[in-house]
Structure 1
Amino acid sequence: MLDNLERWSLENPDKPAVWMEDAAEPMTHLQLHRRSAQVAHWLVSLGLQAGDSIAMLMENRAEFFELAWGARRTGLYYTMISWHLKPAEIAYVLKDCGSRVLITTPTLAALAREVIASSQWPGHCFVLDDTAPTDVSVPAQRDRFDPDAPLPPRPVGREFLYSSGTSGKPKGIRRPMIAYEDRFKEAFDFAAWRDTYRVTRDSIYLSPAPLYHAAPMRFTNRIIDIGGTVVVMPRFDAERALALVEQHRATHSQWVPTMMIRMLALPEPVRSRYDISSMRMFIHAAAPCPPEVKRRTIEWWGPVVTEYYGGSETIGLTALYSDEALQRPGSVGRATLGTVHIVGAEGEDLPAGEQGAIYFSGTPRFVYHNDPEKTAAAYDTKGRATYGDIGHLDADGYLYLSGRRTDLILSGGVNIYPQEIENLLAGHPGVRDVAVIGVPHAEFGEEVKAVVELNDPTAASDELAQALMAYCREHIAHLKCPRSVDFTTALPRQENGKLYKRLLMEQYAQGMAATAGA
């Protein structure tokens, strides 16, 4: 037997594997097994060898799982590329991952053609379209093959992830495959994942996020691997998500704080309309969650809210359950994978309560694809790795984040951590979202600026800006408080909740440069 998917197709063939939100019927485990086997034979027919790569440029569609499992079964890497990237960025990922095949959809075919024409990428492009010419139609190509025919013994293929690129070009993370003879062995990180999130074969996982992000991609495939069911939304809608929890009796889900905020913003009669009692594990991650948003979510959903801190590099993970979150507001939990270290400027381990760079030890090394310098920068001299964040541990080993090292504000020789200020302002009743950045200051080097998205954009005024600064001065030391507040209609966040602070900083730097040159 090749893998668990085949096992589930034999043991419970009619059980849903993938329910797309707008689909009349699910894709069963048997259907996914057979279609992905056909995809595997098609990919082999293209001359792809074990270790080669394919790429996908597509919306959330059920076919993603056919393609991903087909790649797994033929020892291929697969990369999902965000359609929100610019053509040059897509071309960069396509070339960097070494993809020989690009699969897209009718909606994104024009974008794919533009990328290929501008970059002269030499691979082959196929479309998930029954009406396309046979030689480029994925369904037509797939259906030529017998799903029961044996496949060549190859390693187990896997995802080839790219970071979100919030601080520069996306960075590729390509991990080793599992050897064919070891295909039944459980990887240690899979075991940690299963135990941390209490996943079983009966789990029904609601995924409201784009599948081109690492967490949704990994979670959905692992749920299928363990024999469960995934429910996938083409795009997030707050009320529709609640309806799907009720409709499918979802037991697990994963959100980002912006989704949590939008669900909390629904009128109480709407929120109470839906039965969410089936939820056993409401998971959130990807971006810092203001403690007030966490508290209100726990009050609504019950003690099922779980946060984790980690990254595509999988150098370490922490987890925080609801009871812990209420006792330790702002923490992201204790380590569930690896060991956490807080490291000072000279590489020394810092005691509890002191701020420093967050490093992990005790997990396998990783490399950034084609970038040895960035790989080296992620490790210290003791072989510990970092995601690039700053924080501290308390006396019981709970981790607290202060922000990215690149976001640290140095004002008058004092280190200021944006996360504390952002958490405070996010608790203000008029604030929908906030980013705190450092902007140039002639005397202090940098000063603190808050860029605020309001619940009511028409309320923006100089008086409200002054009120928000006064609100900060009531709760934290004055030297940390914003010296100015700007209002915006939308902060540059990705759908996974991550904030492009780099774009904000560039905008302000350009604006100040233009003013200086005027």
Structure 2
Amino acid sequence: MSTFFDVAEQDPGRLAVLAPDGTAATFGELAARANRLTHALHRLGLGPGDGVVAVVHNGLPYFELLFATLQAGMYFTPVNYRSSPAEIAYVVANSGARVVVADADIARGCDLDVPRFSIGAADGWGDYASWGADEPPAPPEPRTAGQTMLYTSGTTGRPKGVRRALSGRPPSLHPIHRDLLAMFGVAPGPGVHLVACPLYHAAPGSFAVNALHLGHSAVLMDRFDAEETLRLVERHRVTSTHLVPTMFHRMLRLPEAVRSRYDTASLTSVIHGAAPCPPEVKERMIGWLGPVVHEYYGASEGLICGVTAEEWLAAPGTVGRPLPGVRLKLLDDDGVDVPDGEPGTIYFSSAHTALDYLGDPEKTAAARSGEYLTVGDFGYRDAEGRVFLLDRRTDLILSGGVNVYPAEIEARLLTHPDVADVAVIGEPDEEWGQRVVAVVEPVAGVPADDALAARLAEHCRAALAGFKTPKRFDFTDRLPRTESGKMMRRTLRQE
């Protein structure tokens, strides 16, 4: 099986990355820069098991550093560039990173006691552009696989590092990723992958680097824009991309004249995950783009399921069956297996599953059931082995002794033309235990008033049981989502 490094050797002139600012690198150029950085890291005393933190926007340095560490048995930790200096310092300290690279605007606000390099001028930071320039462009011998060590998004608490053991073998495309991409029609050879999300998130970064392993070119966006996404698909004949449901929602809100203006026939795989997708939204995307909208279910801790567009249409709402090599079980509150059709907490295990949170044995133990791990998702499995998600266990609302799933109510509200985004949460209620509250971001120009609340309540009652209809509607200019589409419910609850 080929890797990025093989493509760089066999076809060095092929375009590897086109950055948002127009700078580009071929496979050969990107590999040579990564090789020089690997030697530069060795010169600083780093070796297998050591870590490098990158706080960078979507651009060439992300891939230069990733491949430099990936071939040197090191851990690469990308960090959200919107993080505060204190949050960056926490990840650097918690991960034990021995080198930090940051964009200049971020570096100027950080004071870190490790070797550090800035992309652009920053006092006290080395110059990233010239770092390693005097090192040889030849690869290290032998190449030893590193790992990307991601930090959980922090939607339910302080971020924790998801650390996998190093294999000691040469770098390669993991079989579970290979199988998932093959299922979605993403094959080795020429192709173009559009990166519309920040690379520091688990899925966008993973799908981008895997596309490069397959020999595809990566076209990067610095921020998502619905029409610009379509323009880039047409201009670069994009074959695959990874999007999140909120992006689907915004693309579908484009006027029909705008959507039909662009040629999207080159797309063979529009992959989504990271957050629940309302069935109606997905049906409309498939109706527009064709049966190329495929879905995976997983987390930073590991991939779990996958489902193609055609399989999903046969069972709307499913996230598919477990991927090859993935074992799955659903447990009730007492840790007992639940039968098919009954809801339970989802636990999974595979060779790709990370079973340890760095420096947090209590969280690791709480998430385990033997060799199995859970990220707190709640769902059920049908008689055909297909998995359906209900919600995060921590988001479940218990009202009058009845389980209420926020995702179901959110999916209904998102079908209303006046709703741009929505989050449903529970708040304490003396009589019912919890009551259902919807926090709504109205479409621009729609008054956030009692009349809108009344329309939304009527919209819910037309399709949902009365106890699921929100007892109150609050309105906001913008809901707190991560760039990967996950709702920051903890933030909403605190507010």
Shared topology, TM-score over 0.5? Answer: yes
- Partner secondary structure for residue 131 of structure 2: helix
Distance 1:185 1:287 in 2: 28
Are 1:171 and 2:157 matched, yes or no? no
Percent of aligned pairs with the same residue? Answer: 42
CA deviations over 1:276-316 (Å, ceiling 9, x no partner): 100000101111111111111111111100011100101x4
Per the TM alignment, residue 33 of structure 1 is displaced from its structure 2 partner at its CA by 1.1
Which segment is superposed worse, 325-334 or 277-286?
Answer: 325-334
Indicate conservation of the 8 Å contact 2:143/2:170, yes or no.
no
CA deviations over 1:48-96 (Å, ceiling 9, x no partner): 1211111011111112111111112222111111122222222111111
Distance 2:100 2:350 in 1: 36
- 2:103 matched to which residue of 1? 105
Distance 1:12 1:470, change over 3 A: same
Distance 2:143 2:6 in 1: 18
- 1:471 matched to which residue of 2? 459
- 2:327 matched to which residue of 1? 339
Per the TM alignment, residue 389 of structure 1 is displaced from its structure 2 partner at its CA by 0.7
Per the TM alignment, residue 356 of structure 1 is displaced from its structure 2 partner at its CA by 1.3
Are 1:373 and 2:368 matched, yes or no? no
Indicate conservation of the 8 Å contact 2:162/2:354, yes or no.
no
- Partner secondary structure for residue 130 of structure 2: helix
- 2:239 matched to which residue of 1? 251
- Partner secondary structure for residue 7 of structure 1: helix
2:444 to 456, 461, 466: 456
- 1:195 matched to which residue of 2? 182
- 2:35 matched to which residue of 1? 37
- Partner secondary structure for residue 16 of structure 2: strand
CA deviations over 1:344-379 (Å, ceiling 9, x no partner): 122222222211111224445520111111111111
Distance 1:457 1:491 in 2: 17
Per the TM alignment, residue 133 of structure 1 is displaced from its structure 2 partner at its CA by 8.4
Are 1:158 and 2:147 matched, yes or no? yes
Are 1:406 and 2:394 matched, yes or no? yes
Per the TM alignment, residue 251 of structure 1 is displaced from its structure 2 partner at its CA by 0.7
- 2:62 matched to which residue of 1? 64
Q: TM-score, normalised by structure 1?
A: 0.91
In the alignment, residue 55 of structure 1 is paired with which amino acid? V
Distance 1:438 1:135, change over 3 A: closer
Are 1:11 and 2:10 matched, yes or no? yes
Which segment is superposed worse, 93-102 or 133-142?
Answer: 133-142
Indicate conservation of the 8 Å contact 1:450/1:485, yes or no.
yes
Indicate conservation of the 8 Å contact 1:50/1:75, yes or no.
yes
- 1:94 matched to which residue of 2? 92
Per the TM alignment, residue 26 of structure 1 is displaced from its structure 2 partner at its CA by 2.7
- 2:348 matched to which residue of 1? 360
Indicate conservation of the 8 Å contact 1:157/1:177, yes or no.
yes
Gaps in structure 1 of 5+ consecutive residues: 508-518
- 1:208 matched to which residue of 2? 196
Q: TM-score, normalised by structure 2?
A: 0.95
Distance 1:392 1:36, change over 3 A: same
CA deviations over 1:188-213 (Å, ceiling 9, x no partner): 32332332333222231111000110
Indicate conservation of the 8 Å contact 2:145/2:172, yes or no.
no
Per the TM alignment, residue 266 of structure 1 is displaced from its structure 2 partner at its CA by 1.2
CA deviations over 1:194-239 (Å, ceiling 9, x no partner): 3233322223111100011011111111111222211111111111
Per the TM alignment, residue 409 of structure 1 is displaced from its structure 2 partner at its CA by 0.9
Indicate conservation of the 8 Å contact 1:409/1:416, yes or no.
yes
Superposition map of 1:118-517 within 5 A:
121-129=112-120, 136-148=126-138, 151-153=140-142, 155-179=144-168, 182-183=169-170, 187-199=174-186, 200-314=188-302, 316-337=303-324, 338-363=326-351, 364=353, 366-380=355-369, 382-507=370-495
Indicate conservation of the 8 Å contact 2:71/2:170, yes or no.
no
- Partner secondary structure for residue 83 of structure 1: coil
Distance 1:144 1:373 in 2: 46
Per the TM alignment, residue 411 of structure 1 is displaced from its structure 2 partner at its CA by 1.4
Distance 1:87 1:234, change over 3 A: same
- Partner secondary structure for residue 234 of structure 1: coil
Per the TM alignment, residue 153 of structure 1 is displaced from its structure 2 partner at its CA by 3.4
What is the CA RMSD across the aligned residues, in angstroms?
1.9
Indicate conservation of the 8 Å contact 1:18/1:27, yes or no.
yes
- Partner secondary structure for residue 395 of structure 1: coil
- Partner secondary structure for residue 40 of structure 1: helix
Distance 2:230 2:210 in 1: 23
The structure with the largest helix share of the pair is 1
Distance 2:64 2:124 in 1: 19
Distance 1:153 1:76 in 2: 13
Count of residue correspondences: 491
Distance 1:390 1:99 in 2: 34
